[in-house]
Amino acid sequence: MLYMTLTDVNLEPAELALAAGETATLKAVIAPANASNQTVVFSSSDPTIARVNASTGKVTAVSSGAAEITVLTEDGHKTAKSRITVTAEDIPDETAEARAARFAGYVDAAIAALPPADELTQLHQTVVNSVRAAYDRLSADAKAHVTRLATLEAAEAAIELAQYKEEKLADLKGSIDTTLYYSSELQTIKTILAICEDTVADAATKAAVDKAIARAVSEIEKVPTKAVDEKEIEKQKAAFAKKKVESVTATANATGKRLKVKWTKVAKADFYEITWKVNEAGAWKSATSDKLTYTIKGLKKNPGIRVQVRPVRILAAGTPRSVDAPGTWSGNYKFLAHMGVFVSLKKAPRAFTATWKPIKTATGYQVCYAPKKDFKLAVTKTKNGAKNKSLKIVNRPSNTTYFVKVRTYKKIKGQVYYGNWSAVKKVKTQ
């Protein structure tokens, strides 16, 4: 049967207004309609406002505010969003302790709605991350009321293991592809495929995966190889040395302890080397990735990260003369491991005030606003000082809508590092 690749996805309706306690089901519309792989996962930007079932798209309105529901496809990782606005009656005379317990209950409900740990895959990464971010936004008092933290941590561990297994399977499949190219020994190929299908696909632990990889490698080493043209290798090596990653971006998680680095694809690259330095201090650290992403983990206090990436091609793969041919390092890219956090926008006559959540380690903040959602004609204002948490924009036309976002910046040894922009909010002047 011909495999039909998924090319696009939309989420209907694109906007939805609900009262707290109401439910509605969003529909993922896939193109083409007969795509072979129609697996999707739904996630919420804030499950304390609107919770969504990861499999069915059923939304439950929780508390007053706005949240985005995102659908992610397994085939091609296409996405679409729907904006959910929730209204809820104010709770008069609510004590701080009662409010903390209420929001802890919202987070517990979001954790309870996660799929079982043994059903989680890499596709559920955004689902688990959104729940973790909701927990991290709670006050210390509210966190003390959460009863399902262990379940959330188990889900995070399951996602990490799923990612590890997928990466190892990709490595093994690459070895199999190499063997198919260089080998005429059909029985050896069948042996490797059997290892892949019977052992790795069902592996429950890292040790089992590594054992399967070792067995496969031992089989590959027995495979006869083709002769190698030394001059051709040198020619290809020189040509690839000019290849370069054109763009590098990065996104911090809600806690600032991880930074996911992404880069553009380089034709014929087999893997990529990434190197980084933290806070302009110490030695450069390095890693490799056969994907177009790498996550730097274990960061502390929202550091500044300087990053470089370069492509590498494996020449004469599967032969005794196999050699890595590196390309050119990208430029130095600087990122601050912090995601801007909006608190509110307040309108005023011919003005508005943006308020955000400050961090102790910041040098200052930037507020960017524009009359259009694409941020054409945008204006960026800077507010120095870590303790600042608001900026008033004045002398604007009356009855005009503005789209606004916030980010943090930090100066480290004379270098300026910028964090990620917050989610975009809009406000209309009076």
Residue-level pLDDT at 50: 95
Rounded (10°) CA dihedral 373, 376, 381, 386: 50
Does the structure show a pLDDT above 60 at 403? yes
Does the structure show a pLDDT above 80 at 316? no
- Give the integer Cα–Cα distance in Å for 296 and 135: 21
Q: Which residues pair with 366 in a beta bridge?
A: 382, 407
> In 74-205, where does DSSP find H-type helix?
96-112, 125-137, 140-145, 149-182, 186-195
- What is the pLDDT averaged over residues 247-275? 92
- Give the integer Cα–Cα distance in Å for 402 and 405: 10
The count of other CB atoms within 10 Å of the CB of residue 4 is 14
Nearest alpha carbon to residue 321 among 243, 236, 225: 225
- Give the model confidence (pLDDT) of 6-47 as tens digits: 899 999 999 999 999 999 999 999 999 988 889 999 999 999
- Compute the half-sphere exposure of residue 193: CA atoms within 13 Å on the CB side of its CA: 9
Q: Are 216 and 196 in contact (CB under 8 A)?
A: yes
**Phi-psi map region of 43: left, alpha, beta (phi>0 left; psi -120 to 50 alpha):** beta
Pairwise pLDDT comparison (231 vs 73), residue with the higher score:
73
Residue-level pLDDT at 408: 94
Pairing of strands 351-356, 342-348: antiparallel
The beta-carbon contacts of 171-179 under 8 Å, at least 24 apart in sequence, are 171/213, 171/290, 172/196, 172/200, 172/212, 172/213, 172/216, 174/270, 174/290, 175/216, 175/217, 175/220, 176/216, 178/220, 178/317, 178/318, 179/220, 179/223, 179/318
Helix (H) or strand (E) holding 28: strand 27-31
> Per the structure block, which two tokens stand in for 290?
């056969």
Weakest mean pLDDT among 174-188, 255-269, 370-384, 406-420: 174-188
- Give the model confidence (pLDDT) of 136-150 as tens digits: 999 999 999 999 999
Which residue carries 């089901």 as its tokens? Answer: 25
Report the topology of domain 8-147.
Answer: Immunoglobulin-like (2.60.40)
**Vertex 275 angle, CA 271 and 277, to 5°:** 165
pLDDT band at 210 (very low <50, low <70, confident <90, very high): low
Integer angstrom CA distances of residue 339 from 258, 260, 409: 11, 12, 11
- Give the integer Cα–Cα distance in Å for 255 and 387: 19
- Give the model confidence (pLDDT) of 88-137 as tens digits: 888 888 898 999 999 999 999 999 999 998 888 888 999 999 999 999 99
Residue-level pLDDT at 183: 44
CATH code for the part of the protein at 342-428: 2.60.40.10
* b/e 337-358 (16+ beta carbons within 10 angstroms → b): bbbbbbeebeeeeebbbbebeb
Average pLDDT, the chain: 85
Residue-level pLDDT at 51: 95
**E-strand stretches of 349-418:** 351-356, 364-370, 379-384, 390-393, 401-412, 415-418
Is 0.75 surpassed by the pTM of this model? no
Percent of the chain with pLDDT over 70: 83
Q: Are 306 and 277 in contact (CB under 8 A)?
A: yes
- Give the model confidence (pLDDT) of 357-401 as tens digits: 898 889 999 999 999 999 989 999 999 999 999 999 999 999 999
The beta-carbon contacts of 214-223 under 8 Å, at least 24 apart in sequence, are 216/172, 216/175, 216/176, 216/192, 217/175, 219/188, 219/191, 219/192, 219/195, 220/175, 220/178, 220/179, 220/188, 220/192, 220/318, 222/185, 222/188, 223/179, 223/182, 223/183, 223/185, 223/188, 223/318
Residue-level pLDDT at 232: 80
Q: Are 38 and 105 in contact (CB under 8 A)?
A: no
Residue-level pLDDT at 211: 61
Residue-level pLDDT at 416: 94
Does the structure show a pLDDT above 90 at 264? yes
Is domain 229-337 annotated with CATH 3.10.129.10? Answer: no
Q: Are 266 and 245 in contact (CB under 8 A)?
A: yes
Residue-level pLDDT at 175: 54
* 388 SS3 class: coil
pLDDT band at 182 (very low <50, low <70, confident <90, very high): very low
